[in-house]
Amino acid sequence: MPIPPVLEQTILATPVGELTLIASGQGVRAVLWPGEALGSRVDRCPSSRASAPASLPSLAEPSAILRAAADQLGEYFAGTRTTFDLSLDPRGTPFQRGAWEVLRGIPFGETISYGEQARRLGDPRKARAVGAANGRNPIPIIIPCHRVIGADGSLTGFAAGTDAKAWLLGHESRSSDAPSSARQSTGSKSPRTQERSKKVAVGP
């Protein structure tokens, strides 16, 4: 019987609420919004044959992957980081993974429409399908689905709500307008960042 992968969790306090960061040994697996159930994104793996538990047991120290994710997200919210340099381990269908890869190519502080995302994916007729794939993005912010908006400029749907989407876009706009000396690929950790770590084994 194969050994089930171990997932670790860190709770990160941010301006948009407490985010739950979940990582496997290969990379960041999910970022959950405040109040979002553990299994809501971890279970979105087509090959999964077991559900994630409702909670994770306590762990003394987070893994290097989680520490890096927490640090880089802290820098993002502090306005000193515009790109992420993290190992990612999202689970999804080939189409979803392709849509998420397009999201990773949208620069900080910029937005595109769902139609443009579909065009970049190779089929401009699939705007609705890429919207659905974005809605199942397991690693929001790091994979920036908030940077995709309606063709008319409307914010449209977002897992954390349009207020959170507006805040993220406004934050990036403000940070983009800041002097370049204040924005670096790395920076100081946000003083609001706090972590609590946990680990659990789940089915493949």
DSSP track, 27-65: SEEEEEPTT--THHHHT--TT--SPPPSS--B-SS--HH
pTM of the model: 0.81
pLDDT digits (tens, 9 = 90+) for 162-191: 999 999 999 999 998 766 544 444 344 443
> Is the separation of the CB atoms in 29 and 89 below 8 Å?
yes
Mean per-residue pLDDT over the chain, rounded: 83
pLDDT of 57 > 50? The answer is no
Nearest one of 176, 159, 148, 166 to 33, comparing CA atoms: 159
Q: What pLDDT score was predicted for residue 60?
A: 55
Residues annotated catalytic, as ranges: 145
pLDDT of 48 > 60? The answer is no
CA distance 29 to 27: 6
CA distance 202 to 180: 43
Three-class SS of residue 148?
strand
Helix axes 127-135, 94-104, angle to 10 degrees: 90
Q: What is the mean pLDDT of residues 26-46?
A: 78
Tokens of 117: 């995302």
> Is the separation of the CB atoms in 37 and 197 below 8 Å?
no
| Range of lowest pLDDT (39-43, 75-79, 130-134, 140-144) | 39-43
Q: What does DSSP assign to residue 58?
A: B
Q: What pLDDT score was predicted for residue 56?
A: 54
pLDDT digits (tens, 9 = 90+) for 98-142: 999 999 999 999 999 999 999 999 999 999 999 999 999 999 999
Q: What pLDDT score was predicted for residue 43?
A: 56
